């Protein structure tokens, strides 16, 4: 089989000055994509700004014979997000691929988490993904082509101590992805999410040091690259990836309980085991499908 190429495609990768985003940008550029390397260049908590990291990645891409342009704007402001997409339009004439990857951490136990710490993390991960996708959306629709990857996290899907802000943003991205997939379907816009694990400055003091070598960022990028390729047909899905392992994550519903149209608190108590059953699990493609069992009960 031929290798996957991205010739003629223009990709925007946010937060691509370090870690995972940097690797996504290098890989896509090495396979022919023209890449906007966005990075605000702050520290892990999002403090500060530096155009250097994005420019360094661009220099590396160019040294390897690829095409790229740096952008130092902030994904979390409407003006910044517009400028990121405009950089693609001005430099390469279009935008095809968006990898929403920029992220920061402000970890605190919930007891100590301030509204500022909550808002700052939501702003970059969730609002930033919304703003950049929104700035590109009309262009993607118009050209009848788009590939979006949003960066979620296992911490969002399954919860993690000290990350109420981060996990809220990351689970929010799952709903965001599923809705974009549905709204983008008739325009050939595919949106998917990843929940990665990799050794970066974000995780170097959180993951076991023994695994540093095995959790390279290069073990995450192949999934991102596949999802943004022309040949990917799947949309609205979430995959976990890292260390050579990859798996699909499902949002699923149990068979449930419901024989009547009225439900009492005693009904809930008496049928608790059935309500909690996960056998069988059903994965619905959209909320219309998910309403199916209820509609069936209401009309039977």
Q: How far is the CB of 34 from ligand NAD (least distance, A)?
A: 19
**Is 103 an interacting residue with respect to ligand NAD (CB under 6 A)?**
yes
Which CB atom, from 23 or from 235, has the smaller least distance to ligand NAD?
23
**Is 146 an interacting residue with respect to ligand NAD (CB under 6 A)?**
no
The CA distances from residue 145 to 26, 98, 186, 265, in Å, are 22, 11, 10, 50
* Ranges within 29-58 binding ligand NAD (CB under 6 A): 38-42, 44, 46, 53
148 sits in which H/E element: strand 146-151
Select from 26-34, 100-108, 254-262, 265-273 the region that touches ligand NAD (CB under 6 A): 100-108
Which CB atom, from 145 or from 167, has the smaller least distance to ligand NAD?
167
- Taking every pair of Cα atoms in the chain, the longest distance, rounded to a whole number of angstroms, is 69
**166 is known as an active-site residue:** yes
**Sign of the CA dihedral 282, 284, 287, 292?**
negative
- Non-local (6+) Cβ contacts of 89 within 8 A are 95, 139
**Structural tokens at position 255:** 């068979």
Edge to edge, the sheet with strand 97-100 lists: 67-71, 34-38, 10-13, 97-100, 146-151, 189-196, 238-242, 245-249
Which CB atom, from 104 or from 181, has the smaller least distance to ligand NAD?
104
Among 14, 177, 219, 221, binds ligand NAD (CB under 6 A): 14
The rounded distance, in Å, linking the Cα atoms of 233 and 229 is 9
Q: Residues 145, 166, 239, 257: which is the catalytic one? A: 166
CB 251 within 8 A of CB 174: yes
- Non-local (6+) Cβ contacts of 7 within 8 A are 32, 33
Among 6, 10, 13, 15, binds ligand NAD (CB under 6 A): 15
Among 55, 87, 153, 192, binds ligand NAD (CB under 6 A): 153
**Is 150 an interacting residue with respect to ligand NAD (CB under 6 A)?**
no
The β-bridge relationship of strands 245-249 and 238-242 is antiparallel
Q: Which residue is nearest to ligand NAD (CB)?
A: 19
* Ranges within 163-202 binding ligand NAD (CB under 6 A): 196-198, 200-202
> Collapsing DSSP states into helix, strand and coil, what is residue 98?
strand
Which CB atom, from 17 or from 172, has the smaller least distance to ligand NAD?
17
Which CB atom, from 45 or from 109, has the smaller least distance to ligand NAD?
45
* Ranges within 200-219 binding ligand NAD (CB under 6 A): 200-203
Chain residues binding ligand NAD by CB under 6 A are 14-15, 17-21, 38-42, 44, 46, 53, 74-76, 101-104, 124-125, 128, 151, 153, 196-198, 200-203
Catalytic residues: 166
């Amino acid at each position: 089989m031929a290798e996957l190429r991205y010739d003629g495609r223009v990709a925007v990768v946010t937060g691509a000055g370090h870690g995972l985003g940097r690797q996504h940008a290098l890989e896509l550029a090495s396979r022919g994509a023209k890449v906007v390397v966005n990075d605000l260049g702050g520290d892990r908590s999002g403090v500060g700004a530096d155009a250097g990291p994005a420019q360094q990645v661009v220099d590396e891409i160019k040294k390897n014979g690829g095409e790229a342009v740096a952008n130092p704007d902030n994904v979390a402001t409407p003006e910044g997000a517009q400028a990121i997409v405009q950089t693609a339009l001005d430099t390469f004439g279009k935008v095809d691929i968006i990898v929403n990857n920029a992220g920061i951490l402000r970890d605190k136990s919930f007891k100590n988490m301030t509204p500022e710490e909550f808002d700052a993390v939501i702003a970059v991960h969730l609002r930033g993904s919304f703003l950049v996708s929104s700035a590109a959306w009309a262009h993607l629709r118009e050209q009848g082509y788009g590939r979006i990857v949003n960066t979620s996290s296992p911490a969002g899907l399954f919860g993690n101590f000290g990350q109420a802000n981060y996990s809220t943003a990351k689970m929010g991205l799952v709903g965001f992805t599923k809705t974009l997939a549905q709204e983008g379907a008739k325009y050939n816009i595919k949106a998917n999410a990843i929940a990665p694990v990799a050794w970066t400055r974000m995780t170097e003091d959180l993951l076991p040091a023994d695994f540093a070598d095995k959790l390279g960022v290069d073990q995450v990028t192949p999934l991102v690259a596949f999802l943004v390729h022309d040949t990917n047909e799947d949309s609205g899905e979430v995959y976990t990836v890292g260390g050579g392992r990859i798996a699909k994550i499902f949002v699923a519903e149990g068979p449930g309980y419901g024989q009547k149209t009225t439900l009492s608190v005693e009904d809930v108590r008496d049928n608790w085991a059935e309500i909690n059953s996960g056998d069988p699990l059903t994965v619905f493609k959209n909320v219309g499908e998910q309403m199916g069992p209820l509609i069936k009960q209401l009309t039977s």
